[in-house]
Structure 1
């Protein structure tokens, strides 16, 4: 049964330490706000992007020690995962909701769709939409730099990352085709990538905080990257996105699913799970990724003509 209306009058949403999870969770905040709930969001990444979510109360992340007191004023509190950012979350509030089961359920639907359906069926918001309320600030031009390809070679864990040398080979190939490939990485990854990219004459802009990253991606033409939060951000900004995934199961759940996109499964054809994890990044070639990027460009042409696009999972 959905919560009663009174318990949804004032809702707190506690977002994940991960960028992608945070953007996905904002689907819940957006639809609650549309239904008339007063929503407060707690989380560092969404707080960094607060000017992209106008009209909603967004606060920095909560500390475990002070969370219980901070959440007392809310009728319902919601967190995506059962262990982060706040452990023992259901013990902090009598009407705490953890959405971990949505992440673990066996379904071909993306998390963006699952969270939308949770809003409809779990919260009783019958007109919920697959949108999280993100809006570009004034003064930005969508895909202004049409030939710029954002390449994001990092991810939350090393097993999700394609080989650096192959990202560089792909970027060189795209440059030869007339594109402007530009890499983006976090501060911790810059020492690894700066000498590699400098040697090849490839760009690595220092963009600063997540707000600046979002603005720069918004004005870029294309995005290619690993399974990562920046891929979700690009999709959320409706920049055509090519995402490299280790496995098809993970891609079904966690694929970026707002804007136009393609998903490429690196382990296709590898027989067992352990081998998939070990070999996918070696089996996936720059040529195969370049062909998937060509399909993405073809899909964009089809959609611009008003015909339905197709997301390929292979």
Structure 2
């Protein structure tokens, strides 16, 4: 192992002594974003809390760049290539990246002000990632009022939850092991429509063909060429249901109540959307052993169970002391 690799392996999520006063206007940090949407939205919680404390924060990442109009408090640029990263990031006293080894693998080996969130991500904690990252911001940077918010705000011209009866369903995920059964999503959509709700599936364009083969009475299929257009549509939707995915984190960051289907309790504990009101659905308790749970979790969750959980979520939202809005960002 070379010197750079050894430094990287031994580094934790702190950079040692010498952190400037968080209230100083000269405190500056660059944030290198993961290519994953959910990771980006959660890491921006740390960036937002630094901005609130008077820091200048520059963000590098493609999802963040696409959503720049929703984050006017940051200076946002596209993702850095490995060839340009060293020259650009050397200008910053502190560089924050969620993972130690990605998207820039050697960053921790050469930048003395490198900070990662490995320990926060993998800590034994009952909290979701949004709350963990807010707590990290408070502890690491000495902030006294860190909040579970990435500061996302809608551009002018959009109306929050304008289509209150619209249920946005995202039946896909980044990997097959996160996806509930497609036919169960179709069954769920029929139940929701029978209850008087407007249901629409949101998919990437490349995913549409296989859904069109599942049923003749699918709800409308929506695809968007950019994260910003997806965000605008979600912001005006009333509800979100989906698999463990970045789209669920986006809906939550926008203040939309979420219901997420998860394959394991441990995964849900860490990765449930945590920006606003939301619930989860887990596999049935009767499936024995971890191996069988991993194999049969999809079959153990019925459309009826998800429908029941959605009904409970609607009652919880209706019973809140004041209507939810896009500014609420606390973990629930």
Match of 1:193 among 207, 211, 235: 211
- Contact residue 226 and residue 245 of structure 1 kept, 8 A: yes
CA RMSD in angstroms, aligned pairs only: 1.9
Gaps of 5+ in 2: 1-15, 325-330
- The aligned counterpart of 2:327 is none
Match of 1:230 among 247, 254, 264: 247
Change beyond 3 A, Cα 1:267–1:85:
farther
Match of 1:5 among 16, 20, 29: 20
Change beyond 3 A, Cα 1:123–1:267:
farther
- Contact residue 152 and residue 225 of structure 1 kept, 8 A: yes
Gaps of 5+ in 1: none
What's the TM-score, normalizing by structure 2?
0.88
Change beyond 3 A, Cα 1:224–1:65:
same
Distance 1:181 1:92 in 2: 50
Distance 1:11 1:276 in 2: 43
Distance 1:51 1:11 in 2: 20
- Contact residue 75 and residue 95 of structure 1 kept, 8 A: yes
Residue 218 (structure 1) aligned with residue 235 (structure 2): yes
1:194-215 residue CA offsets vs partner (Å, 9 max, x unmatched): 3435x11410023321101000
The secondary structure found in structure 2 opposite 1:242 is strand
Distance 1:269 1:304 in 2: 36
Change beyond 3 A, Cα 1:55–1:227:
same
- The aligned counterpart of 1:104 is 122
The secondary structure found in structure 2 opposite 1:147 is strand
CA offset at residue 189 of structure 1?
Answer: 1.3
**Aligned residues between the structures:** 308
Residue 122 (structure 1) aligned with residue 140 (structure 2): yes
Distance 1:248 1:256 in 2: 14
CA offset at residue 267 of structure 1?
Answer: 4.8
Change beyond 3 A, Cα 1:158–1:267:
farther
1:256-292 residue CA offsets vs partner (Å, 9 max, x unmatched): 1111111111253322221111110111100000000
What's the TM-score, normalizing by structure 1?
0.93
Distance 1:85 1:76 in 2: 17
